[in-house]
Amino acid sequence: MSKILHEPFSYPFDIARSCFSVTESNIGYAPKLHISNSELMFSTIATRLSSTVPAGAPAIKTPVGLLTCGSNASPTRLKEKLATVAVPLAFAIRLQLREWIPVYAATLSYYGAIPATFERIPEASGEPFLIVTDIKNLNDLMLSEQLTGNYDAYEVTRGTTDINTDFPVLAFIAKYGALRLGEKLLPLKEFQPASASDDLPTQREVIKLVLSSMNIPLTLKEYHERINNASFVLDLRERIIAAFGTTPNVPGWLKVSL
């Protein structure tokens, strides 16, 4: 298992600030590419990327979208996940999305990070990614989600968001809902405009807040030393779910089986 998976304080890892593409041998960035939510037809995205990313747009035969607010928006992490799949191609579009906000989830990943999920928050906005890849890759992209059973796959049904595509779009939603500390949701600063993220907590700060809220007397150094102990991680995950778990708030989205 790669080193990146053992660095919970770095989650959600090296999130791109702009659109990017991933092929078997290359990561390409398109910092000047602008695609509005109403221009998310597959051919439009591919044409724009082909003229902007040095490697061009990957040729994906059966496209599927993955609305992403976690480590799949890390080019390095996505390339790792695609290394062993049938069609090692993907491209990613950073969106400006109203109402559906990337927030921390009420659970723990198998490597000790508080992961991300979506929550509907009227009058708020966020900047998640739309990952477009081949539908054959979905099971592989769910690998880390399946390891702890933290996520369910949902169809982002047409009309529930202000994005419009000509291919299906899914999202991985935390089974136990969003993390609330004192009824306060915690958006991920990596998926907010730079101007709005200054006061949002980092992963390190969220872990510290969770430990404090549960009266667990561990420093971050002590926490980091324990996360390679699977029993510690599983026990803490169960305690977090028991203390903060809720029903996901994703009205209109449909749970699907992959």
Nearest one of 214, 206, 163, 170 to 188, comparing CA atoms:
206
CA 172 to chain centre: 8
Three-state DSSP class for 90?
Answer: strand
Read off the CATH number of the domain in which 95 is found. Answer: 3.10.490.10
Predicted local confidence at residue 52, as pLDDT: 59
Which residue shows structure tokens 């490597």?
A: 111
List the domain range (segments joined by +) for residue 212.
3-256
Nearest by Cα to 173 from 115, 108, 98, 95: 115
Could you give the number of structural domains in the chain? 1
pLDDT of residue 17: 82
The two tokens of residue 182 are 């004192």
Nearest 10 degrees: Cα torsion 114, 119, 122, 125: 60
Per-residue model confidence (pLDDT) at position 1: 38
**pTM of the predicted protein model:** 0.88
**What pLDDT is attached to residue 26?**
78
pLDDT at residue 147, as a whole number: 66
Which backbone phi and psi does 209 adopt, to 5 degrees? Answer: -65, -40
Q: How many Cα neighbours within 13 Å face the side chain of 189? A: 15
Q: How confident is the prediction along the chain (258 residues), in pLDDT tens digits per residue?
A: 344 445 899 898 888 888 888 887 778 777 656 666 666 777 777 776 666 555 555 678 888 999 999 888 999 888 888 887 878 888 888 888 889 999 999 999 989 999 999 999 988 889 999 999 888 888 777 766 666 689 999 999 888 888 888 889 999 999 999 999 988 999 999 998 777 767 899 999 999 999 999 999 999 999 999 999 999 999 999 999 999 999 999 999 999 886
HSE of 101, CA atoms in CB hemisphere, 13 A? 21
Q: First vs last Cα of the chain: how many Å apart?
A: 24
